[in-house]
Amino acid sequence: MAGKIIHEQFKCIGCGACASVTPDFWEMHGELSHVIGSIAKKTDEGIVEELEIEDKDVAANEEAADVCPVNCIHVKKLEVNVEMIT
């Protein structure tokens, strides 16, 4: 795991831009976008989807975040700590 997609679905306007640029991770469910394989959490504000992704998939999902007109997609790079045992 090298990154995480955080999708504030409650802010989504259903424009489909994310699904157009990154169809391997994004699809439309009715009038809202959805992160394929994500875990949905209910917050006080509404539904938030999260999905851990590999390093190779970070750039494509950053593009999905960049094209979102309401800024409801966030991609966080995660640090991987490796401890060597000798």
Closest C-alpha to 40, from 2, 77, 9: 9
Q: Measured between alpha carbons, how far is residue 14 from residues 2, 40, 64, 79, 84 in Å?
A: 27, 17, 13, 31, 46
Reading the block at residue 12, the tokens are 């989504």
**pLDDT tens-place string over residues 39-70:** 999 999 999 999 999 999 999 999 999 999 99
Cα separation, 34 vs 26, in Å, equals 6
Q: What percent of the chain has pLDDT over 90?
A: 86
Architecture of domain 3-77: 2-Layer Sandwich (3.30)
19, pLDDT greater than 80: yes
